[in-house]
Structure 1
């Protein structure tokens, strides 16, 4: 299949001919491989592993890592990690091949022909997006994570390959520059370690956290490491005494087959607890713990009784994760007792539970090797289904918002509540009845009218606690309120509310998006622009299906005009490689539709002047006070040849202008028939949180108010300051707008200012 030197008749080298150290299990595969291994899609497990390794070796030949090692060392290490956690041969084969599409000339089609669609599908799931230029690292990271989560939804085994890949990369970061080490370590802590935790792969989680900790907080890492080493002998002696006492008591109780051992906590876990509880190292008692493994479920509770009979339990520290497992499938009994004059943590579980705690989803596959496993309706993957549903429905191009939501979803603790029928529902900590309603079904959330929590009527914004019984009251006439966005905690609920709003106001938001483009690009040729191939590509880049969806997202505020125009310029450049990048909006319009002439928005100005009393004189509205129809105004004659400036009569600058230069003017009462709008500046002080600007823009969009400029200033530990330039018809509309924004829970203050 692939020609090369020193080949056996079956096309595979002898183990010693690869020139690198191979693990024993791989050597066994290479030595017993049958002659038929050169054919496509080997069905024998050892043949599959031998072929996939050999192909990876050949494709990566001549490539080296930053450390100087042959590149094949990395996929070999990834495959070895996958084998250690019990992954199947096809997953291990994908570990060998996970970088070949990204880093060599082979295609996914060829890979599928050699190894079948399962292996190629796994490789595709972990392959980064190639051939696409991203304007910044954040966008590239967000889009690659979107791709990975969608692949995980189709086949959850994708994440095993990705986590093994990341773990070996973290082990071998020393050869990279310091800034790149920091960036990778930060991403590992924020995304991949929590992802391993969500999937219950404790062995990966602990090492990823410690490796990131070592790079991100090196001084604290060394300090805790030294503390652990210094007190090890004392701790081990104390644990040994406790173990012997418990072993004797457990045997006397009739338990014969059990294991009991001490285990050290990983360093990042100790440091996190020190930070969370604001304690010094010597004040953290559970830097080590006892683990008791018993043969069956009944024995778990018998062993617990023995522990509590032997040592005094600490109130409030018992947790039954067997009766109520963690979302990742983790099961165990946790208790804390006073042993040998010091508190100690004890965990009790069966061998099966221990396998799940160590290896997570790899320990209990719910499919056979020949299947095509997907997330399906498995409850433990509900968080992944919701995340994928959200990113498909939201279609947001706000990459910072997307990354923040992923981190929140992976990190957040959960609360467990009950439906009226007694079914358990897991929700993000801080969730409300609205989050619960949307977790049950979209229609339940969309028609939610009220809630009973523990048989008591409560406000919809009430936060849920562990053990609450929640009942949702619905009515056909009820519909989501934008105010709900101020207190819902889950991305699912937040985006279902926005989705309902966008669908119910779709025509308005499409028209609004079109008006925004008309304002900057002109009316002539806009139809040609919207149907152009470049604009379709822009929609795809924004994770939208059609240009109509793009207009709706633009009108809704999910994407900005700046984002659309920047991507449009780049798409035009890619389609016309021999032409220069269009720098202006005028050039964009001309480039897309050569027969269209640019029309300035000024050409479509109303025929009737909104100001009466000027008799054809040139005028402008004063930026210092930005007057609006409905307010008393006055004209002032500017020095030199600068026309008339219109101010509000209570403008502070009027007192400095002599009365001889003041003109009586008033608003045209027929102004409304021309739908003229005027710019006004608002300064809004808000609590600094992700998405607050989008929530404000959504309220403005709901009132059909255009935002021509938005700027945000943030300072660590202080409220954020948002400057908005909006277009209004009257002072009455301004008052309603200010009241609507002021009513938001995150808004501290709002004021009208002069135009900047």
Structure 2
């Protein structure tokens, strides 16, 4: 906006726009409703008085132009009023409360949903954009009209973008191509999507757009005759087949779609400019399939290029038959076949609900699909750590081509191209994704990173002990899977710490024949207040992470006058049982590598939880100087899992030596995690091997079998961290 004086004109531009708007609204609204719209205009015009756009027009002309775009979609009264008032909260002194008092909660909520967040504490423009997009989507979940007003707002801004500076123009164009055009596509609003893409392309790459536009116009003359000939042939054959009422339209590809095709497939304009596209519009689904048979008899279909979006609609509700034929001049012909209702839905998407009231079933289907997508986005935004992560997930979700796979019960699941089994598991349910361990694709076992193809049947195998692997983030492609994995990993350590902290505190209280639930609530609340903690879980988390010692907390709960800094005499306590599956808050020390069966001791490491060491670990000398920081622990008799253990092996340096060692270890059902050569000459090689074993007995059996090999000269377990580094570049034997 700029402080330019109003133009001296007998009829102001905003008055012309209001007249046009009222004339358009009179075609489908009652006179009382139009009066309400005019009242909204008067409030908006008064609020924006003295504000001007860079074009020199009064600022109110922009909201009126937005409302005209929506009126062409036959938007309802409240939506039109919100469009006229959509900038008053952001750019004038009018508040949301004043709007609610003057026009009701519905209009106020719509305007607030479209308004940008003000006074954001953001480090960058990108973060501010992400916060605003996130806010808009939360409002969209409640009312789809929010995004329709926003898309119309963006469309008018793009139509008047030329007045802005180059950098700002390119930034807005990039945002349009990255977010708003894909949203319009996702909601099935094809006409708005195409115009946003072409305007964004022209603003982002003006020279490329101009050159491509000139090339299309130059080629158009030659193509008109070809298009007319093919159109006539198709219509004639349809008439012969009893489908004379079907409409046949030859169409021209839009500039941005041409550019995307040239860029994506590395083609010149000459190689794509003669791809002809035709649309056949019938009266019923039966006519569509009959028309498909007619055109397949007229021209030869290209194998693998037929798609039935009538039987299996796209995620945005789009329905049509797609096929590619070899035309009379050897050029490919793209054919789309759909009913009139499907055509209205394809062009207008969720706007069809207002545009074509008579086709309520089709439009409500589109709305249902849009709401389903928004519900998924709501789940994603709840899992997202911040607005930037949400925006990244949104972009992943918007830019996708679909594949269709089946559950074992025959339900169709839509996924983006290159989706994996893990993406499928999360699409079924978040809990299924979090606990999946493997899968069967068409009854054959397949790894979780397998990329799914159309028509496959996928069965997920889960286990109650399983949890998401951080490595999954390297191959999942859906926003829902990515957000769920990140959320789980982000909260996993906290939940583990809470569980461990409660176990530790209960163990200390048990020595005094008490349970935590027996402690009076008032005493617990008093302690939480004294420690400045908000909840019991916060206390358990602090204990589990090693930030507070459990016996001191127990003492304060039992004796209210005890202080946190005291060093009490320890009571003889039963040891904490280690199962080996505690997770991120019980860590096995890497310096001594304890395994089930070893005598062990635990130490609190503030912020990380408990670190378990061998009782004879060298590092204990320093740790034992802090008696308040260690606790008695022992292995559970049923400890499960694989644990790393380190052995030192002196081998004869011969061809095939390492292969014999590896074969023996494998035969004993142990895995090799790492091999380092610390010393090597022509006769002897000293190797440090890290094995994954079940327990101490398993390790002893492996070492016993290795001793029997003739190439093994000496073998021992390493119980302290090696000081000597392996020679640079030596990682394996001569074999």
The normalised TM-score by structure 2 is 0.65
1:294 to 273, 277, 282: 282
Q: Per the alignment, do residues 383 and 29 of structure 1 end up closer, same or farther by CA in structure 2, a change over 3 Å counting?
A: closer
2:523 maps to none
SS at match of 2:16: coil
Q: Per the alignment, do residues 262 and 138 of structure 1 end up closer, same or farther by CA in structure 2, a change over 3 Å counting?
A: same
Q: Distance in 2 between matches of 1:256 and 1:126?
A: 46
2:21 maps to 26
1:343 to 316, 332, 346: 332
2:368 to 360, 372, 378: 378
Q: Distance in 2 between matches of 1:154 and 1:134?
A: 26
1:72 lines up with 2:60 in the alignment = yes
Mapping of 1:533-552 within 5 angstroms?
none
Where in structure 2 are there 5+ consecutive unaligned residues? 1-9, 501-527, 546-589, 593-616, 628-643, 645-688, 691-724, 727-735
In the alignment, is the contact (CA less than 8 A) between 2:315 and 2:414 conserved in 1?
yes
1:409 maps to 397
In the alignment, is the contact (CA less than 8 A) between 2:316 and 2:366 conserved in 1?
no
2:126 maps to 138
SS at match of 1:22: helix
1:577 maps to none
1:46 maps to 34
Q: Tell me by how many angstroms 1:667 deviates.
A: 7.8
Q: Tell me by how many angstroms 1:231 deviates.
A: 1.1
1:392 maps to 382
1:436 lines up with 2:424 in the alignment = yes
2:470 to 468, 472, 482: 482
2:169 maps to 181
In the alignment, is the contact (CA less than 8 A) between 2:82 and 2:107 conserved in 1?
yes
Q: Distance in 1 between matches of 2:374 and 2:536?
A: 29
Question: Deviations along 1:18-56, whole A, 9 cap, x unmatched?
Answer: 75422655344899999xxxxxxx994322322222222
Q: Tell me by how many angstroms 1:88 deviates.
A: 2.3
SS at match of 1:231: helix
2:488 maps to 500
In the alignment, is the contact (CA less than 8 A) between 2:73 and 2:351 conserved in 1?
yes
The normalised TM-score by structure 1 is 0.63
In the alignment, is the contact (CA less than 8 A) between 1:29 and 1:47 conserved in 2?
no
Mapping of 1:357-376 within 5 angstroms?
357-364=346-353
SS at match of 1:292: strand
Question: Deviations along 1:87-130, whole A, 9 cap, x unmatched?
Answer: 22222221111111111111112212222222221111111011
Q: Per the alignment, do residues 449 and 177 of structure 1 end up closer, same or farther by CA in structure 2, a change over 3 Å counting?
A: same
Q: Distance in 1 between matches of 2:367 and 2:21?
A: 36
1:454 maps to 442
Q: Distance in 1 between matches of 2:50 and 2:239?
A: 60
Q: Per the alignment, do residues 668 and 380 of structure 1 end up closer, same or farther by CA in structure 2, a change over 3 Å counting?
A: closer
In the alignment, is the contact (CA less than 8 A) between 1:33 and 1:47 conserved in 2?
no
Mapping of 1:279-358 within 5 angstroms?
279-285=267-273, 287-341=275-329, 342-358=331-347
In the alignment, is the contact (CA less than 8 A) between 1:312 and 1:337 conserved in 2?
yes
Aligned residues: 529
Q: Distance in 2 between matches of 1:266 and 1:548?
A: 58
In the alignment, is the contact (CA less than 8 A) between 2:380 and 2:390 conserved in 1?
no
1:105 lines up with 2:93 in the alignment = yes
2:69 to 74, 81, 101: 81
- State which drifts further: 486-495 or 377-386: 377-386
1:672 maps to 623
Task: State the Cα RMSD in Å.
Answer: 4.2
Q: Per the alignment, do residues 290 and 675 of structure 1 end up closer, same or farther by CA in structure 2, a change over 3 Å counting?
A: farther
Q: Tell me by how many angstroms 1:338 deviates.
A: 2.4
Q: Per the alignment, do residues 303 and 668 of structure 1 end up closer, same or farther by CA in structure 2, a change over 3 Å counting?
A: closer
Where in structure 1 are there 5+ consecutive unaligned residues? 1-14, 35-41, 513-526, 537-545, 557-627, 631-665, 677-702, 704-734, 737-750
1:259 maps to 247
Question: Deviations along 1:452-493, whole A, 9 cap, x unmatched?
Answer: 111222222222111111112233343333343333322322
Q: Distance in 1 between matches of 2:71 and 2:327?
A: 38
In the alignment, is the contact (CA less than 8 A) between 1:265 and 1:286 conserved in 2?
no
SS at match of 1:260: strand
Q: Distance in 2 between matches of 1:86 and 1:412?
A: 30
Q: Per the alignment, do residues 18 and 298 of structure 1 end up closer, same or farther by CA in structure 2, a change over 3 Å counting?
A: same
In the alignment, is the contact (CA less than 8 A) between 1:30 and 1:50 conserved in 2?
no
